[in-house]
């Protein structure tokens, strides 16, 4: 089996999902005798950073020489990836189930005529007949579905934070990637890019502090930011908070916002409506802080604090900072 891995970058820097993608592929298939793990870069990074993916198990990195993939455009990226798949003779393509992955995976599954296993949340179990057993969440994260995946060509996307990247190996060779297949494939013209600066991306954050209406007003949001700073966490909010313009919509998590899977999710002053839980229930550890002991969030939380957020947060933040300084 030959494995191709799609690695994402932003502004010339490898994204966290790039390391996860390499580790996901290597940890799953190396024990089954697979030795060829080729990374296709979705844009240019430094040669040193590209070669560094070998430290996570990659055997070769293919990086475009021009800037045609630097900005994400699904038609161009999918055309270049399809060309790389066909030329390499790969049997499997692995990518993260990010915004880019959600756009590319179904396109490539059709054009490459591959079986697609999307949003897998654990490494597959490889059966003796060569098929896989994979799991993913269904019904707004309220259930787990198990699928059997087979076929000569397969494409797998995994949910971010599905596993921790593991160092194993040494820097690998970097070769140029042909982008001729993407020439003329673009169907859009980029007019403007608006980026959120100075924040940890929610989809990559290992810890998230989220606030709801229990904070009583935007003037108290500094309590969320203070706790996030102490925990090196990203900040998020519930839909009512973004609808009331206390916070921007790029921080809204839930069924109609961003779905996240951090190691730690602290919900402050959020009741726990089913629409919100759909976007955060895959978090590995959930802490709920609410004045209402009957709040639905307490039913799914690993830890709960019944109390006023305006009193609890300053004390919690102080305790964490004191612990970190000791």
pLDDT in tens, 127-152: 888 889 999 988 877 788 999 999 99
Question: Among the three residues 182, 214, 236, which one is the final residue of a domain in this structure?
Answer: 182
Q: If DSSP codes are grouped into helix, strand and coil, which group holds residue 26? A: helix
Distance of CA 254 to the CA centre of its chain: 15
Q: Looking at the 3D structure of the chain, how many domains does it have?
A: 2
226 and 177 together in one domain: no
Least confident of 194-198, 210-214, 290-294, 322-326: 194-198
Residue 36 counted as domain residue: yes
- Number of residues that this document lists for the chain: 326
Residue with tokens 């494939």: 185
Residue 172 counted as domain residue: yes
23 and 134 together in one domain: yes
172 and 287 together in one domain: no
Average pLDDT of every residue of the chain: 93
Domain CATH code at residue 291: 3.40.50.1220
Residue 188 counted as domain residue: no
Residue 134 counted as domain residue: yes
Q: Is the dihedral of CA 293, 281, 261, 37 positive or negative?
A: positive
The reported pTM is 0.87
Measured between its terminal Cα atoms, the distance across the chain in Å is 50
Q: How does DSSP classify residue 124?
A: P
Count Cα neighbours of 198 within 13 Å in the Cβ-side half-sphere: 2
Residue-level pLDDT at 3: 96
Residue with tokens 């580790």: 23
What percent of the chain is predicted at pLDDT more than 90?
80
Residue 103 counted as domain residue: yes
Residue 176: give the domain boundaries: 2-182
Residue-level pLDDT at 198: 66
- CA dist 18 and 9 (Å) reads 8
């Amino acid at each position: 089996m030959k494995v191709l891995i799609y690695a994402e970058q932003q502004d010339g820097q490898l994204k966290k999902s790039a390391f996860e993608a390499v580790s996901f592929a290597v940890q799953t298939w190396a024990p089954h005798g697979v030795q060829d793990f080729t990374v296709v870069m979705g844009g240019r990074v430094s040669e040193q950073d590209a070669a560094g993916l070998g430290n996570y198990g990659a055997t070769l990195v293919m990086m475009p020489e021009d800037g045609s993939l630097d900005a994400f455009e699904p038609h161009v990226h999918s055309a270049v990836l399809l060309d790389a798949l066909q030329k390499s003779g790969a049997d499997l393509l692995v990518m993260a189930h990010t915004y880019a992955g959600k756009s590319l995976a179904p396109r490539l599954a059709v054009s490459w005529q591959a079986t697609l296993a999307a949003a897998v949340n654990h490494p597959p179990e490889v059966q003796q007949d060569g098929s896989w057993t994979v799991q993913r969440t269904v019904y707004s994260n309220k259930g787990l579905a198990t699928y059997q995946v087979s076929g000569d060509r397969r494409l797998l996307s995994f949910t971010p934070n599905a596993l921790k990247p593991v160092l194993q190996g040494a820097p690998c060779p970097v070769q140029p990637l042909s982008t001729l297949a993407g020439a003329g494939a673009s169907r859009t013209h980029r007019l403007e890019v608006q980026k959120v600066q100075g924040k940890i991306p929610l989809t990559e954050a290992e810890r998230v502090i989220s606030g709801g209406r229990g904070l009583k007003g935007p003037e108290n949001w500094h309590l969320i930011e203070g706790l996030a700073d102490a925990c090196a966490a990203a900040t998020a909010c519930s839909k009512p908070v973004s609808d009331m313009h206390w916070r921007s919509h790029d921080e809204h998590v839930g069924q109609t916002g961003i779905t996240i899977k951090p190691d730690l999710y602290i919900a402050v002053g959020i009741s726990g409506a089913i629409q919100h839980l759909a976007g955060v229930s895959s978090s590995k550890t959930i802490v709920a802080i609410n004045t209402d002991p009957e709040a639905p969030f307490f039913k799914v939380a690993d830890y709960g604090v019944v109390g006023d957020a305006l009193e609890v947060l300053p004390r919690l933040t102080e305790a964490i900072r004191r612990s970190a300084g000791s």
